[in-house]
């Protein structure tokens, strides 16, 4: 342990070298740009910038790349809050309350809350990595297909359940999402599904295209219907907004802690940041006193998913380093980088490449702090984007949406689909079909199905595999509890009310 | 005569190549805008890594005046990438890096594509396959493992692999032929995941490429049993304990008569000129001379065979026949 | 779609009509899904569900939900509530149409030229900016995008004759 701390300080010394520090700042800025531009995103951005780092030492290279990663994580929240366009799957849940906050003129607050929560989540995860890395590294090994499926199951259950919309509309929307997610190649049998011989359909419907269309384009159409303005233009630009928001945030310490734990757990058990963000949002909605207001612009609805997503995104680097299993697509590209620099990720990396590992961990601390400072100083700048007149910003958003949709698979057909999704999103929103369950289903549906079928392959068709050991049974049970939470809660309330002789509160 | 023609055209290609390398005369073709490398697989996989390594090497050593761009087109088991290149007739600024899905994807999915629709450029290397088990298992040799499979019921042993109806599953089916027992094949998305699933004992064995599993071997978590090649690997550095890649016996010597190597090569769209192909053959030769490339080969214990021209075409044609035969007997061909 | 007039005097399609339309459209998608998954085999094989199993039941549930939604709309919803006024819908379509044209143009002119046109049309039509401002923004944004994606990040986007002529 003492040895580790000495190593960590050595790592700080490595990171604090002027050249490395400069790379860090460059990396963060590049990362924010990459995160904001739709279609570049963390994974693509790092893949694109990877060759730049070949001429550096591995330590410098990983410092720069991981800072791009942090930057992209921070940047993803910006478009979600300002334009309802999440650039990464784990930013989807941030739009639910972040965008309404922006609409109410509270974009600055939402951005500050998002950035600060990202920071808290990431920092928590780094501390976990520093302190207990050797202990938790092997936790991921216990996750076979049934365990992975149970995690997705829990994510669905904690998110679904209570919805204000008519239940059959929620079901239709969610199931449609599953259906769309299934289009393309079936991973388990290698068969093509529902492509009907069209080469354009081979890709299936990527979540990003659906989300850009449903949320981004759909929102522009709604705005047009209501007259030409983003309602956010009313936002007063206040440089002090950061500090004002910081005064409120400590109130949510319990929420943050819970989200951090969810995030770390999801990140280490390589399920990733996306289920973490949805799960954290869903649970916060259930537990919070203001839960019924979620979706209308609650700051808690920004804190919960952002904290969890970044705790997960950061802790996902642990299984990557120690086992060579990437917890996210971005981590997968970083992993490729490690191999190209001649570093073998795996249990021995901690022993043989101390400089590198502790340099990376130290850069996580420093990168986060530097990143937070950079993005927070830019909050007023980002928020002022909403002041640009609608007739100028709308076509530019449209162009960036199109670029984002194109770069997913480098396919112009996806751009067409984006517009189709946009129109569908407009009509669905107007007729009260909730879009969030649909997006959740597109994002996680095929992964969940794959894990389910892998499990059954291994168990030769027996469903009992989902209750075969303590770990998977616990997660499945938690899922069931989450699914029937509202019934459990109302039952509990009724019990208590009966006890007190009062009518249960709605 | 054919062999003469082959060596002649190969000679021409080499002449063009070396001439371009030395003096870059005016008549040799040069790219005029960025070169695209299409990867018919997702980011982070073996083909993607190799494409990005080539990109980095070309950039670092300034081997080309134009920059190199890598794009992933992984839809439909890579079918999307192949169709894209097939449809870019005459585009001399496009390359595609292949893995076994060059053969397996059209056969398994019926996507209208064949390698003959492309212009072969060069084979960069061949990727090896090794039979791995968890180090805690009692099987010390491939013979032990095969004996255990034979002694157990059908489907008792679980083999993990990358994708469905692709190279890993083809090898698994070949193993089933040897043992006469069914194995339960579980497809995962990437080779790294498969290796970790094996470490976590969720599967009994895998046929990971060396680079995917080497870290776990060195950490004493996995044990290599045999390599699916005709000869032992030519890497003598000690990797794990006092074992080197060279110490792993061939599967054939263990009574498993299965050989399988995966092509890592470059192809171009149809309808490109000889000069254009020659440029890339030469470029790839220069890439192979760099220390970065040699390190990559060493780390991944690749089979470093290089081929271009007719020799390469013949190799690819043979490989296609092999795949067709294997996939037909496994029942993996798409229903027409 | 039935027409109706609301109290405020504006006219437009009824909410009920649009609800029916959305439900029917979803039902059609569901039927396509059912057809598609039947081709893959919807049974439960010896090692768990086959490729079409999940899509089939998912599509079936969509279909059932659509029927329920349709029944609810037909029975409960009154036909006088407006979906939107025609004027509002005209606004919406004035975005959809140029966007659709934009998307159609991208494969032919490349994304940069098409984007310049889209921005110009929008700014001139809705914003009524002077031609100078319109030209400035409509040309600068695609150029900046070009520099960012093609030059700095080396991400190729669709290009057309203009870019080819310029040597890209």
Q: Is residue A506 part of a domain?
A: no
| Chain B partners (3+ C-beta pairs within 8 A) | A, C
- What CATH number does residue B101 fall under? 3.40.190.150
Inter-chain CB proximity C156 and B69 less than 8 Å: yes
Lowest mean pLDDT across A123-127, A412-416, B259-263, C161-165: C161-165
The mean pLDDT value for A117-122 works out to: 92
pLDDT score recorded for residue B3: 41
pLDDT score recorded for residue A1: 56
Interface test with B, best of C38, C154, C159 (most B CBs within 10 A): C154
Whether residue B172 sits in one domain with residue B231: yes
- What's the pLDDT tens digit per position in A305-338? 999 998 998 888 777 777 776 666 677 777 777 7
The mean pLDDT value for C127-154 works out to: 88
The mean pLDDT value for C11-33 works out to: 90
- Compute the distance between CA of residue C39 and CA of residue C52 in angstroms, rounded to an integer: 7
Inter-chain CB proximity C156 and B71 less than 8 Å: yes
pLDDT score recorded for residue B249: 95
Final residue in a domain of this structure, among B238, B254, B270: B254
Domain ranges of chain C: 3-76, 86-165
* SS3 (DSSP) at B93: coil
Inter-chain CB proximity A347 and B219 less than 8 Å: yes
Whether residue B178 sits in one domain with residue B98: no
What is this model's ipTM? 0.90
Residue B240: which domain range? Answer: 130-254
- Compute the distance between CA of residue B172 and CA of residue A424 in angstroms, rounded to an integer: 45
Inter-chain CB proximity A54 and B60 less than 8 Å: yes
C40, C107, C119 member nearest A193 (Cβ):
C40
pLDDT score recorded for residue B9: 40
- Compute the distance between CA of residue B237 and CA of residue B235 in angstroms, rounded to an integer: 6
Inter-chain CB proximity A143 and B200 less than 8 Å: yes
**Separation in Å, CA of A395 to nearest CA in chain C:** 5
- Compute the distance between CA of residue B187 and CA of residue B326 in angstroms, rounded to an integer: 18
The yes-or-no verdict on residue A134 having pLDDT over 70 is: no
Tokens 């100028």, residue located: A392
Whether residue B120 sits in one domain with residue B265: yes
Residue B123's beta-bridge partner residues? B265, B307
- Compute the distance between CA of residue A133 and CA of residue C94 in angstroms, rounded to an integer: 56
Any residues with CB less than 8 A from the CB of A287 and at least 6 apart, and which?
A: none
pLDDT tier for residue C23 given thresholds of 50, 70 and 90: very high
The yes-or-no verdict on residue A231 having pLDDT over 60 is: no
**Separation in Å, CA of B298 to nearest CA in chain A:** 10
Q: Is residue B336 part of a domain?
A: no
Residue A217: which domain range? Answer: 2-500
Inter-chain CB proximity B33 and C168 less than 8 Å: yes
- What's the pLDDT tens digit per position in C28-52? 999 999 998 888 888 877 667 888 8
Whether residue B60 sits in one domain with residue B33: yes
Helix (H) / strand (E) element for A479: namely helix A470-483
The mean pLDDT value for A277-297 works out to: 87
Query: Which chain C residue has the Cα nearest residue B155?
Result: C47
Whether residue B247 sits in one domain with residue B153: yes
pLDDT tier for residue C154 given thresholds of 50, 70 and 90: confident
* Distance (Å) of CA A334 to CA A18, A327, B111: 23, 11, 32
- What CATH number does residue B176 fall under? 3.40.190.10
On chain B, the residues whose CB falls within 8 A of the CB of C150 are 34
Q: Is residue A444 part of a domain?
A: yes
pLDDT score recorded for residue B201: 92
pLDDT score recorded for residue A258: 93
**Most distant CA pair in chain B, distance:** 68
Q: Which of A135-139, A347-351, B182-186 has the highest mean pLDDT?
A: B182-186
Whether residue B145 sits in one domain with residue B85: no
* Distance (Å) of CA C138 to CA B4, C70, C102, C122: 60, 45, 14, 10
pLDDT score recorded for residue C5: 46
pLDDT score recorded for residue A381: 82
**Better-scored residue on pLDDT, B222 or A17:** B222
Q: Is residue B219 part of a domain?
A: yes
A and B: number of Cβ contacts within 8 A: 162
pLDDT score recorded for residue A237: 59
- Angle (deg, nearest 10), helices A107-136 and A300-315: 30
- Compute the distance between CA of residue A114 and CA of residue A251 in angstroms, rounded to an integer: 15
Share of chain A above pLDDT 70, in %: 90
Helices and strands of chain A, counted as H and E runs: 24, 2
Domain count of the fold of chain A: 1
Q: Is residue A505 part of a domain?
A: no
Inter-chain CB proximity C36 and A431 less than 8 Å: no
| DSSP structure class, residue A292 | G
Whether residue B102 sits in one domain with residue B12: yes
B and C: number of Cβ contacts within 8 A: 15
Whether residue B242 sits in one domain with residue B135: yes
How is residue A446 written in tokens? 């095929």
Neighbouring C-beta atoms of residue A387, cutoff 10 Å: 13
- Compute the distance between CA of residue A210 and CA of residue A193 in angstroms, rounded to an integer: 18
Q: Is A186 on the interface with C (CB under 8 A)?
A: yes
**Separation in Å, CA of C122 to nearest CA in chain B:** 32
- What's the pLDDT tens digit per position in C109-122? 999 999 999 999 98
Q: Is residue B234 part of a domain?
A: yes
The answer to whether C59 and C33 are in contact (CB under 8 A) is yes
Report the mean per-residue pLDDT for chain A.
83
Q: Is residue B335 part of a domain?
A: no
B70, B76, B299 member nearest A185 (Cβ):
B76
Any residues with CB less than 8 A from the CB of B283 and at least 6 apart, and which?
A: B58, B63, B64
B32, B67, B69 member nearest C167 (Cβ):
B32
Share of chain C above pLDDT 70, in %: 92
Q: Which residues of chain B have pLDDT under 70?
A: 1-27, 43-44, 335-336
Q: Which residues 32-61 on chain C approach chain B with CB closer than 8 angstroms?
A: 47
Q: DSSP characters for B149-205?
A: HHHSPTT-SEEEEESSSSHHHHHHHHHHHHHSS--EEEEES-HHHHHHHHHTTSSSE
The answer to whether A323 and A346 are in contact (CB under 8 A) is yes
Report the mean per-residue pLDDT for chain C.
85
Domain count of the fold of chain B: 2
Q: Is residue B301 part of a domain?
A: yes
The answer to whether B58 and B50 are in contact (CB under 8 A) is no
Q: Which residues 387-406 on chain A approach chain C with CB closer than 8 angstroms?
A: 389-392, 394-396, 398-399, 402-403, 406
pLDDT score recorded for residue B77: 84
The mean pLDDT value for A326-351 works out to: 71
- What's the pLDDT tens digit per position in C64-73? 999 999 998 8
The answer to whether C72 and A168 are in contact (CB under 8 A) is yes
Inter-chain CB proximity C51 and A189 less than 8 Å: yes
């Amino acid at each position: 342990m003492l040895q580790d701390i000495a190593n960590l300080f050595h790592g700080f010394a490595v990171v604090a070298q002027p050249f490395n520090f400069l790379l860090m700042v460059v990396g963060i800025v590049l990362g924010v740009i990459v995160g904001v531009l739709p279609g570049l995103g963390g994974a693509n951005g790092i893949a694109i910038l990877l060759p730049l780092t070949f001429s550096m030492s591995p330590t410098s290279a990983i410092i720069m790349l991981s800072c791009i990663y942090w930057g992209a994580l921070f940047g993803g929240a910006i478009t979600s809050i300002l334009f309802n366009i999440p650039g990464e799957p784990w930013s989807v849940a941030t739009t639910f309350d972040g965008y309404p906050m922006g609409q109410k003129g509270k974009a600055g607050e939402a951005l500050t809350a998002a950035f600060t929560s990202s920071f808290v989540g990431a920092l928590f995860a780094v501390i976990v990595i520093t302190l207990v890395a050797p202990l938790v590294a092997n936790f991921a090994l216990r996750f076979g297909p049934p365990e992975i499926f149970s995690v997705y199951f829990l994510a669905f259950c904690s998110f679904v359940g209570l919805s204000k919309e008519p239940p059959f509309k929620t079901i239709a929307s969610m199931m449609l999402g599953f259906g769309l997610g299934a289009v393309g190649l079936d991973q388990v049998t290698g068969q093509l599904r529902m492509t009907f011989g069209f080469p354009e359909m081979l890709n299936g419907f990527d979540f990003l295209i659906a989300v850009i269309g449903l949320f981004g384009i759909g929102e522009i159409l709604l705005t047009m219907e209501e007259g030409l303005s983003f309602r956010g233009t009313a936002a007063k630009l206040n440089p002090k907004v950061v500090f004002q928001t910081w005064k409120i945030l400590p109130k949510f310490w319990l929420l943050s802690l819970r989200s951090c734990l969810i995030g770390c757990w999801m990140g280490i058990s390589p399920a990733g940041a996306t289920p973490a963000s949805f799960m954290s949002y869903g649970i916060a909605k259930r537990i919070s006193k203001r839960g019924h207001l979620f979706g209308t612009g609650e700051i808690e609805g920004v804190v919960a998913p952002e904290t969890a997503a970044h705790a997960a995104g950061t802790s996902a680097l642990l299984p990557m380093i120690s086992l060579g299993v990437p917890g996210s697509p971005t981590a997968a590209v970083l992993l490729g980088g490690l191999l190209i620099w001649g570093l073998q990720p795996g249990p021995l990396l901690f022993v043989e490449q101390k400089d590198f590992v502790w340099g990376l961990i130290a850069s996580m601390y420093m990168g986060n702090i530097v990143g937070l400072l950079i993005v927070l100083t830019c909050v007023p700048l980002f928020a002022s984007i909403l002041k640009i007149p609608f007739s100028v910003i709308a076509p530019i958003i449209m162009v960036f949406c199109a670029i984002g949709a194109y770069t997913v698979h480098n396919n112009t057909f996806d751009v067409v689909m984006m517009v189709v999704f946009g129109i569908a999103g407009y009509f669905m929103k107007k007729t009260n079909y909730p879009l969030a369950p649909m997006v959740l289903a597109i994002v996680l549906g095929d992964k969940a199905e794959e894990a389910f079928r892998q499990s059954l392959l291994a168990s030769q068709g027996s469903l009992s595999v989902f209750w075969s050991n303590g770990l998977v049974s616990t997660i499945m049970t938690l899922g069931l509890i989450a699914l029937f939470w509202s019934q459990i809660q109302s039952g509990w309330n009724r019990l208590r009310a009966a006890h007190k002789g009062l009518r249960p509160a709605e | 005569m054919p062999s003469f023609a082959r060596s002649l055209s190969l000679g021409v290609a080499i002449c063009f190549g070396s001439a371009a390398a030395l003096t870059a005369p005016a008549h040799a073709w040069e790219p005029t805008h960025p070169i695209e490398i299409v990867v018919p697989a997702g980011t982070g996989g073996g083909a993607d890594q190799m494409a990005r390594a080539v990109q980095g090497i070309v950039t670092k050593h300034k081997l080309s005046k134009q920059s190199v761009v890598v794009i992933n087109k992984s839809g439909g088991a890579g079918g999307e990438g192949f169709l894209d290149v097939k449809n870019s007739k005459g585009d001399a600024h496009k390359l595609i890096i292949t893995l076994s899905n060059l053969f397996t994807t059209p056969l398994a999915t019926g996507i209208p594509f064949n390698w003959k629709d492309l212009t072969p450029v060069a084979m960069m290397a061949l990727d090896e396959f090794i039979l791995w088990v968890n180090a805690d298992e009692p099987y010390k040799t491939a013979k032990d493992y095969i004996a255990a499979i034979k002694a157990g019921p059908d489907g008792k042993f679980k083999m993990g692999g990358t994708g469905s109806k692709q190279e890993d599953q083809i090898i698994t089916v070949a193993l089933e032929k040897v043992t006469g027992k069914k194995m339960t094949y579980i497809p995962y998305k990437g080779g790294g995941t498969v290796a970790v699933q094996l470490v976590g004992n969720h599967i009994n064995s895998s046929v990971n490429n060396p680079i995917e599993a080497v870290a776990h071997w060195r950490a004493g978590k996995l044990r290599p049993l045999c390599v699916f090649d005709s000869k032992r690997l030519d890497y003598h550095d000690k990797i794990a304990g006092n074992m080197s890649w060279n110490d792993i016996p061939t599967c054939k010597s263990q009574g498993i008569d299965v050989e399988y190597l995966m092509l890592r090569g470059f192809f171009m769209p149809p309808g490109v000129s000889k000069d254009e192909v020659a440029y890339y053959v030469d470029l790839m030769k220069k890439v192979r001379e760099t220390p970065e490339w040699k390190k990559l080969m060493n780390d991944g214990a690749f089979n470093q065979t290089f081929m271009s021209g007719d020799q390469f075409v013949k190799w690819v044609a043979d490989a296609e026949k092999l795949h067709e035969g294997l996939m037909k007997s496994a029942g993996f061909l798409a229903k027409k | 779609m039935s027409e109706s007039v609301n109290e405020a005097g504006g006219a437009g399609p009824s909410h009920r009509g649009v609800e029916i339309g959305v439900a029917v459209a979803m039902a059609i998608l569901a039927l396509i899904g059912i057809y598609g998954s039947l081709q893959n085999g919807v049974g439960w094989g010896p090692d768990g569900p086959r490729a079409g199993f999940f899509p089939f039941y998912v599509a079936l549930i969509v279909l059932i939900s659509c029927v329920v939604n349709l029944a609810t709309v037909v029975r409960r919803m009154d036909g006088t509530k407006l979906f939107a006024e025609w004027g509002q819908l005209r606004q919406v379509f004035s975005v959809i149409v140029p966007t659709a044209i934009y998307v159609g143009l991208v494969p032919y002119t490349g994304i940069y030229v098409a984007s310049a046109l889209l921005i110009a049309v929008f700014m001139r039509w809705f914003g009524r900016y002077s031609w100078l401002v319109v030209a400035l923004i409509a040309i600068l944004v695609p150029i900046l995008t070009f520099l960012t994606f093609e030059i700095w990040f080396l991400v190729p986007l669709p290009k057309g004759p203009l870019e080819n002529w310029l040597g890209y």
